[in-house]
């Protein structure tokens, strides 16, 4: 049986980044950049005032007080015509280019304007003025030719703003991944039905589809396949049109666990079956010519955890996100916790930021069928195999779940 690390390794070596497409910047939120982007400009593009005030020669105001002759006014979008001589100032607005000859800005609050018949004077009374004060130099944040964004970056509002500054109105991004979700089981009824004796509602389909969407991919809900070869084969065939097909249920050792054999019959080659992990041990993974297939265990928390560990890795890999494998954070346990288990366990927890750092509380979890407790959780705590009494405030490894609050 593979370890989690070996299983993740198998996924990242089998799955390669998928196709790319061009999209307008306005539609690129949440998409993943397929090509690195170089700057075609210096930013700021010129030495620029950070304040409304007066552009001066710092030397003229080295003591903090001076009376200077105002020779011009320059606002954002204009360029001063004059070059500043000793004893002169140019009134300047935030965002305007620093005039030639000036090397500092004195903010308007530290000045007083005096107008007499011949000229306008500015009286400055402030702390000693130094070169570069209240201005920003050309190219401070980036230079033309700098690589400012690597491929594999998921685009958030600030990336879109930066790409807009760079004039990248059309972006090369990875195509959105389509994920089919197929539930299996004779006991399942649709969520609008009242379950009869022995039946349960199909909760996995809704949950897995939502996990897919929370990862920025497109979910296609394929309904319920019954535990017979004909129905399974037909619905698997339909699902193999997707980039990824997720099945839930039918991968353990029961008489009606037909998923692995029906996948193989449909031309999907097994890469692994079963991982040393709790919950989620029976997880199945394989590939066909055009699709990646996961057989997730039917128990809802097993399905959910296997999605977070394995499916998310495949999704990240398909769109070139680096690293593709899950990255844990560290948090202190909120309470003593007695762990018993012979498999590495991903235990639902509630992660919170406290003034003294991140803290995680294991929720009252009753095992792989207990979906209810996961609604009180936002993460999973990784406990390595082996019985152990963990102490409150001890550091543990935590994986945040993808769902947005
Ligand atoms: P299986 O792996 O098919 O043996 O299913 C394991 C457990 O998960 C059984 O108790 C199933 O009833 C339950 N289960 C399977 N599929 C779903 C589903 N789509 N929604 C909720 N529970 C499920
Ligand atoms: Mg089943």
Render pLDDT for 132-188 as a digit per residue (tens, 0 to 9): 999 999 999 999 999 999 999 999 999 999 999 999 999 999 999 999 999 999 999
At 189-248, the pLDDT tens digits run 999 999 999 999 999 999 999 999 999 999 999 999 999 999 999 999 999 999 999 999
Q: Ligand 1 within 6 A of 280 CB? A: no
Q: Is the dihedral of CA 304, 310, 313, 319 positive or negative?
A: negative
Per-residue pLDDT at 403: 66
User: 178 pairs with which residues across the strands?
Assistant: 218
Q: Is the CB of 111 under 6 A from ligand 1?
A: no
User: Which of ligand 1's atoms lies nearest the C-alpha of 205?
Assistant: 19
Inform me whether the pLDDT recorded for 351 exceeds 90. Answer: yes
Nearest alpha carbon, ligand 1 atom 10: 299
Residue 3, ligand 1, Cβ within 6 A: no
In the prediction, which pLDDT does 404 show?
54
245 lines ligand 1 (CB under 6 A): no
CA–centroid distance, residue 265 to ligand 1 (Å): 22
253 C-alpha to ligand 2 centroid (Å): 10
Q: Does residue 295 have its Cβ closer than 6 Å to ligand 1?
A: no
Identify the pLDDT of residue 402.
80
| Ligand 1 in reach of 202 Cβ (< 6 A) | yes
Question: pLDDT value at position 68?
Answer: 98
Q: Check if 250 has its Cβ closer than 6 Å to any atom of ligand 1.
A: yes
Q: What percent of the chain has pLDDT over 70?
A: 99
Residue 17: band (very low, low, confident or very high) from pLDDT cuts 50, 70, 90: very high
Among protein residues, the one with the nearest Cα to ligand 1's atom 6 is 298
Q: Specify whether the backbone of 176 is left (phi greater than 0), alpha (psi in -120 to 50) or beta.
A: beta
Can you give the pLDDT at residue 117? 84
**Pocket lining: 188 vs ligand 1, CB cutoff 6 Å:** yes
Pocket test for ligand 1, best of 193, 223, 299, 371 (most atoms within 8 A of CB): 299
- pLDDT tens for 358-380 read 999 999 999 999 999 999 999 99
For residue 227, which atom of ligand 1 is closest to its CA? 3
Nearest atom of ligand 1 to the alpha carbon of 183? 19
Q: State the distance from the centre of ligand 1 to the C-alpha of 300, rounded, in angstroms.
A: 7
Q: What is the pLDDT of residues 47-78, one digit of tens each?
A: 999 999 999 999 999 999 999 999 999 999 99
Does ligand 1 come within 6 angstroms of the Cβ of 224? Answer: no
Query: What does the mean pLDDT of the chain come to?
Result: 97
pLDDT attached to residue 322? 86
Binned at pLDDT 50, 70 and 90, residue 83 comes out as: very high
What average pLDDT does the segment 108-126 reach? 95
């Amino acid at each position: 049986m593979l370890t989690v690390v070996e299983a993740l390794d198998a996924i990242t070596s089998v799955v390669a980044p998928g196709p790319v497409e061009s999209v307008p910047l306005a539609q690129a939120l949440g998409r993943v950049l397929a090509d690195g982007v170089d700057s075609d400009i210096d930013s700021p593009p010129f030495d620029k005032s950070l304040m409304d005030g007066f552009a001066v020669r710092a030397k003229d105001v080295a003591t903090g007080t001076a009376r200077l002759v105002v020779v011009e006014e320059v606002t954002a979008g204009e360029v001063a015509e004059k070059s500043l001589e000793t004893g002169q100032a140019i009134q300047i607005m935030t965002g305007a280019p620093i005039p030639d000859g000036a090397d500092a800005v004195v903010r308007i609050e530290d000045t007083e304007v005096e107008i007499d018949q011949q000229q306008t004077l500015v009286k400055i009374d402030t702390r000693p003025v130094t070169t570069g004060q209240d201005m920003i130099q050309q190219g401070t944040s980036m230079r033309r030719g700098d690589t400012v964004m690597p491929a594999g970056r998921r685009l958030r509002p600030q990336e879109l703003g930066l790409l807009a500054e760079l004039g990248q109105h059309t972006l090369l991004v990875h195509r959105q991944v389509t994920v089919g979700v197929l539930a299996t089981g004779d006991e399942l009824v649709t969520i609008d039905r009242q379950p009869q004796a022995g039946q349960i509602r199909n909760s996995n389909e809704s949950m897995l589809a939502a996990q897919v969407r929370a990862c920025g991919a497109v979910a296609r809900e394929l309904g319920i396949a019954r535990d017979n070869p004909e129905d399974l084969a037909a619905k698997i065939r339909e699902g193999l049109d997707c980039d990824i097909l997720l099945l839930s249920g039918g991968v353990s050792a029961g008489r009606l666990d037909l998923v692995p054999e029906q996948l193989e019959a449909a031309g999907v080659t097994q890469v692994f079956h079963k991982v040393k992990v709790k919950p989620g041990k029976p997880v199945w993974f394989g590939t066909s010519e055009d699709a990646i297939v996961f057989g997730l265990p039917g128990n809802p928390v097993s399905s959910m955890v296997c999605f977070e560990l394995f499916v998310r890795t495949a999704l990240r890999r398909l769109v070139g996100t680096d690293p593709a494998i899950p990255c844990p954070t560290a948090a202190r346990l909120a309470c003593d916790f007695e762990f018993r288990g012979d498999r590495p366990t991903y235990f639902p927890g509630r992660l919170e930021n406290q003034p003294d750092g991140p803290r995680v509380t294991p929720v009252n979890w009753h095992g792989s069928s207990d979906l209810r407790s996961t609604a009180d959780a936002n993460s999973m705590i990784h406990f390595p195999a082996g019985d152990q009494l963990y102490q409150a405030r001890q550091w543990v490894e935590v994986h945040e779940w993808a769902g947005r609050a």
